[in-house]
């Protein structure tokens, strides 16, 4: 199947939802190696006009470190794509370091186990590297014992740029509203939740005008 066909189908479905802007991030799979990732990059480059704005990488984080994918990420940046990488979940802090140093990503997907390295936490805070955190997913996959054990609040207090995300709602049966509600039940304040939402807006790859409108919309909840 030509690469544009599934992407066109996804875009057609998304366009049926009025009032919500959705951009797409293509996912490389570590297990398939950098050669396959390079082919995926070529394919998504053909459908950028359908709203594909970035690339990320998932798969077996522990078994396939980020280093071999450095050239693919370098080429993705050259072509104008934004970049993220799933790191710091199945593997520890060294995986996050690899995503930062070798892949030079804009954002880190998860980053939960960055808590294992004080120097890494300082680096993330200083460089303002956004973390796409998924507390509910981390509980269900056993990365943390329960939500109360999740490091998200410590990261927030430390000044890291933390955002809240769902991971895969169809797999975990969650929603973004539910994630925020669960954090509120743990004592995360309304002001802190608004801060998380602002982080999400600022860390997004949306156009400046979209960010401005979203930021203004948060004012109604302040």
The set of catalytic residues is: 89
Inter-residue contact 7 to 24 (CB < 8 Å): yes
Inter-residue contact 114 to 121 (CB < 8 Å): yes
C-alpha 125/C-alpha 57 separation (Å) is: 23
For residue 169, count CB atoms less than 10 angstroms from its CB and return exposed for 0-12, middle for 13-18, buried for 19 or more. middle
Please report which residue ranges of 46-189 form alpha helices under DSSP H.
70-78, 93-101, 118-127, 135-140, 152-158, 169-172, 176-185
Nearest CA-CA partner of 202 in 121, 128, 108, 147: 128
C-alpha 102/C-alpha 73 separation (Å) is: 9
């Amino acid at each position: 199947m030509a690469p544009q066909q599934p992407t066109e189908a996804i875009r057609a479905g998304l366009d049926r939802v009025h009032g919500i802007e959705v951009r797409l991030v293509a996912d490389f799979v570590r297990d398939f190696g950098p050669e396959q990732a390079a082919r995926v990059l070529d394919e998504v480059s053909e459908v950028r006009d359908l709203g594909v704005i970035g690339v990320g990488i998932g798969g077996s984080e522990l078994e396939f470190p980020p280093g071999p994918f450095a050239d693919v990420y370098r080429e993705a940046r050259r072509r104008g794509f934004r970049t993220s990488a799933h790191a710091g979940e199945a593997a520890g802090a060294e995986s996050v370091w690899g995503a930062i140093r070798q892949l030079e990503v804009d954002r880190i997907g998860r980053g939960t186990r960055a808590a294992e390295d004080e120097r890494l936490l300082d680096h993330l805070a200083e460089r303002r590297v956004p973390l796409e955190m998924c507390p509910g997913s981390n509980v269900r996959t056993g990365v943390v014992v329960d939500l109360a054990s999740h490091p998200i609040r410590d990261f927030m207090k430390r000044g890291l740029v933390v955002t809240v995300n769902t991971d895969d709602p169809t797999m975990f049966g969650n929603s973004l509203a539910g994630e925020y509600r669960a954090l509120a039940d743990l004592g995360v304040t309304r002001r802190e939740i608004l801060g998380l939402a602002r982080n999400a807006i600022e860390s997004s790859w949306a156009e400046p005008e979209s960010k401005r409108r979203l930021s203004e919309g948060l004012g109604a909840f302040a």
